[in-house]
Amino acid sequence: MARSKSGDPMRQPVAGWVFVTPMIVILGLFLVVPIVMALWVSVSNWTGRGSPFGGNTEFIGLKNYTDLLGKQGLARQDFMTSLRNTFYYVLGVVPIQTALALLLAVLVNQKWLRGRTFFRTAFYFPSVVSSVAISLVFLFLFAGSGAINGVLAWFGVHGPNWFADPRGLIHLLGDLVGVWNIDSPPAGLADTKVMNLSLWEWIKGPSVAMTAIMFQVIWTTAGTFMLMFIAALQDLPAEVEEAAMVDGANARQRFWNVTVPHLRPTILLVVTLGVIGTWQVFDQMYVMSQGKPSKTTLTPAFLSYQAAFRDQKWGQGAAMAFLLFLLIFLLTQAQRWLLRDKDAAREKKLERQQRRAEKKAEVPA
Residue 236 Ramachandran class (φ > 0 left, ψ -120 to 50 alpha, else beta):
beta
Output the pLDDT for position 131. Answer: 87
Cα 230 from Cα 107, distance rounded (Å): 10
The reply to whether 182 and 301 lie within a common domain is no
Contact 169, 215 (CB under 8 A): no
Output the pLDDT for position 1. Answer: 45
C-alpha distance from residue 291 to each of 88, 144, 310, 363 (Å): 15, 18, 13, 64
**Is 16 domain-assigned?**
no
**Is 327 domain-assigned?**
yes
Per the DSSP assignment, residues forming a β-bridge with 181 are: 184
pLDDT digits (tens, 9 = 90+) for 264-323: 989 999 999 999 999 999 999 999 989 899 999 999 999 999 999 998 899 999 999 999
Cα 323 from Cα 334, distance rounded (Å): 17
Q: Which domain holds residue 130?
A: 74-163+208-338
Query: Between vectors from CA 47 to CA 43 and to CA 48, what angle results, nearest 5°?
Result: 105
**Is 304 domain-assigned?**
yes
The reply to whether 195 and 296 lie within a common domain is no
The reply to whether 332 and 277 lie within a common domain is yes
The chain-wide mean pLDDT, for the chain, equals 87
Report how many domains make up the chain.
Answer: 2
Contact 324, 316 (CB under 8 A): no
Output the pLDDT for position 251. Answer: 81
pLDDT digits (tens, 9 = 90+) for 103-140: 999 999 888 888 888 888 899 998 888 888 999 999 99
**Is 344 domain-assigned?**
no
- 3-state secondary structure (DSSP) of residue 184: strand
The reply to whether 198 and 325 lie within a common domain is no
In the chain, what is the greatest distance between 2 CA atoms, to the nearest angstrom?
92
- DSSP at 47: -
**Is 5 domain-assigned?**
no
Cα 294 from Cα 167, distance rounded (Å): 9
**Is 144 domain-assigned?**
yes
The reply to whether 218 and 286 lie within a common domain is yes
